[in-house]
Amino acid sequence: MAENSAIADERQGAERQIFPKILQLHGSDHPGMILASTPLTSTNYLTWSCSIKRALRAKTKLGFIDGNCIKPSITDDKYEQWMKVDSMVTTWILNSISKDIVQAYTYAKTSRNLWLDLEQRYGGCNGPLLYQLQRSITSLSQGNLSLADYYTKLKMLWDELIELKPTPQCTCNGCTCGARQAVAELALFTQLLQFLMGLSDDFDNVRQQILARN
């Protein structure tokens, strides 16, 4: 057992010297890993994909699914290592898909192909989801919730909305007109209004004071 561990450590040390970090596997990486606590179903792609991307970013493997870590040519010295790591990433994603639908993706050639197939199938049209999120935000009220629980629920909806439709960003080299800051401030002010609209009447005085300042 100790000998096998020493061999594994030696192999990982060699990988660290030869390959960039994205093409290295840690000793704790194995084919049985699951990247998302809740598997992909036909209705939770948005939150599931966020969890997968976050997990892969933590492992420095996000480039395999976003297209930044391109498959080398078969004559490249990194080809075999790339194939090994990509197969591991593919397996992790498959492990994170519900049993009802995973069979349809078992033969994906690369993790990038798998990711694009899932995005096309379950990412779908964002219109209905955007509508539902906006409606949920508008209709959410504090009711019997604590202030912390109310804010947490609202923030989850905001985060989903931003993930689905990010705030436009200035693409100029060094924005000098102030548009970037204005857009960010408008987004925050909109969230503030949404938060205040749902507060219970117990906070009416606080609400009026905040609105008077804005």
Percentage of the chain with pLDDT > 70?
86
Alpha-carbon separation of residue 111 from 69, 76, 207 (angstroms): 11, 19, 49
From 123, 158, 192, give the residue that closes a domain: 123
Q: Is residue 7 over pLDDT 50? A: no
Domain that residue 146 falls in:
127-213
Residue pLDDT, tens place only, 179-201: 778 888 888 999 999 999 999 99
Q: What's the DSSP call for residue 22?
A: G
pLDDT at 16: 54
Report the predicted TM-score, pTM, of the whole model to 2 decimal places: 0.66
From 103, 123, 143, give the residue that closes a domain: 123
Q: Is residue 55 over pLDDT 90? A: yes
From 123, 153, 186, give the residue that closes a domain: 123
pLDDT at 8: 47
Residue pLDDT, tens place only, 102-150: 999 999 999 999 999 999 998 876 777 788 889 999 999 999 999 999 9
Together in a domain, 113 and 159: no
Together in a domain, 91 and 8: yes
Q: Comparing 1-5, 132-136, 174-178, which segment has the lowest mean pLDDT?
A: 1-5
Together in a domain, 176 and 131: yes
Together in a domain, 191 and 155: yes
Question: Domain count of the chain?
Answer: 2
Together in a domain, 35 and 99: yes
Together in a domain, 106 and 145: no
60: left (phi over 0), alpha (psi -120 to 50) or beta: left
